[in-house]
Amino acid sequence: MEANSEFQKIDLNDYVQTGEGGTALAYTHKSGKSLAKLYNPDFDIGKIKEEFWTSRTVFELGISTPEPYRLVTDGKRFGGEYELIQGKRSFSRIISQESERLEELSLEFARMARTLHATKADTSRLKSYKEMVTQFYLGKTFVPEDYRKKVLEFLDKVPDTQTCLHGDLQISNAITDGKRTLWIDVGGFGYGAPEWDLALMWNLAHMPDAEKLDFLFHLPSETMKAHWNIFFSAYLGTNDPGRIEDATRRLSMFAAAKIPYMIETAFHMKVPEDFFAFLTQMLD
């Protein structure tokens, strides 16, 4: 990866490694005020820049999120430096440690999501989620042709509203320092129908893989389902079973369209061909 003038050189002697993920390492500055996220050397530099500038746009829209400071490099790896929120904990971590706060935090998460989805996006700086997913299906040869046709027919009917979307709306991406709540991991932010956000959350809450749920959220499946039920009723503003059922039924179609896109975008993996038969049922 070649050096780029947009990235400022940092001295890792001024930082301490405090986190590790599949694609990046996190380093906290000794001042305790910032966090540098440096991606693996082979990571696409264009995606690094896109994630940073999207995060910057979100911050400038007035959405509560840690401030993105600058693009950085240690000379071999590239990434971004962000405001460090002292004493932060994710909602999922808190619920795993203080189960009695499930309802409180699920209701707060619903409030945050409603506020987010009431915010008008800057469509000149953010991408249409519908367009991103459409381009994915138009360009991926591993997607079975009959499935591609069904999804594109569905996407054609999806409204492309100017609603702000997180892109990865789930309780690990909401944090609090005890005084304020913030969104994190906003690099996949975009705009469009709120169902794009809600569908992911619905799908995660009903994942059958208990081990994966525990790894991702430190929560058992019954707690995730309870969280979803509290959240969705509060988000919709109703306890009416019929209205909740109608809204939920619509989410399965968005989830079917989004799952292959998210798996490749987030994990750089292809959906197994035999899984498309299951996804097709969600579209019907």
Residue 3 counted as domain residue: no
Region 139-155: what's the mean pLDDT? 93
Considering 83, 99, 128, which residue would you say is the last residue of a domain? Answer: 83
- Give the number of domains in the chain: 2
What CA–CA distance (Å, rounded) separates 284 from 279?
9
Are residues 202 and 135 part of one domain?
Answer: yes
Are residues 95 and 124 part of one domain?
Answer: yes
Task: Please tell me the predicted confidence (pLDDT) of residue 1.
Answer: 40
169: Cβ–Cβ under 8 A, 6 or more apart, which residues? 113, 197, 198, 200, 201
How many residues are listed for the chain in this entry?
A: 284
What CA–CA distance (Å, rounded) separates 235 from 205?
15
Region 98-119: what's the mean pLDDT? 97
Are residues 71 and 49 part of one domain?
Answer: yes
Residue 69 belongs to a domain with what CATH number? 3.30.200.20
SS3 278: helix
> Cα dist. 44→49, 79, 115, 150, 231 in Å?
9, 10, 33, 31, 36
Are residues 110 and 28 part of one domain?
Answer: no
- Is pLDDT at 2 greater than 70 in this prediction? no
Residue 53 counted as domain residue: yes
Where is pLDDT greater, at 150 or 5? 150
Task: Please tell me the predicted confidence (pLDDT) of residue 216.
Answer: 77
Considering 83, 115, 144, which residue would you say is the last residue of a domain? Answer: 83
pLDDT tens readout for residues 187-245: 889 999 999 999 989 988 887 677 877 777 888 989 999 999 999 999 999 999 999 99
Highest mean pLDDT among 5-9, 17-21, 22-26: 5-9
Chain Cα centroid distance, residue 79 = 18
Structure tokens, 245: 């059922």
Considering 44, 64, 83, which residue would you say is the last residue of a domain? Answer: 83
Are residues 231 and 126 part of one domain?
Answer: yes
Q: Report pTM.
A: 0.89
What CA–CA distance (Å, rounded) separates 92 from 264?
24
Q: Is 20 exposed, middle or buried (0-12, 13-18, 19+ CB in 10 A)?
A: exposed
Are residues 226 and 93 part of one domain?
Answer: yes
Write b or e for each residue in 162-188: b if 16 or more Cβ atoms lie within 10 A of its Cβ, otherwise e: ebbbbbbbbbbbbbbeeeebbbbbbbb
Residue 244 belongs to a domain with what CATH number? 3.90.1200.10
Domain enclosing residue 37, as ranges: 8-83
The alpha carbon torsion through 71, 41, 75, 35 (nearest 10 deg) reads: 40
Are residues 49 and 188 part of one domain?
Answer: no
Region 104-112: what's the mean pLDDT? 98
Are residues 14 and 112 part of one domain?
Answer: no
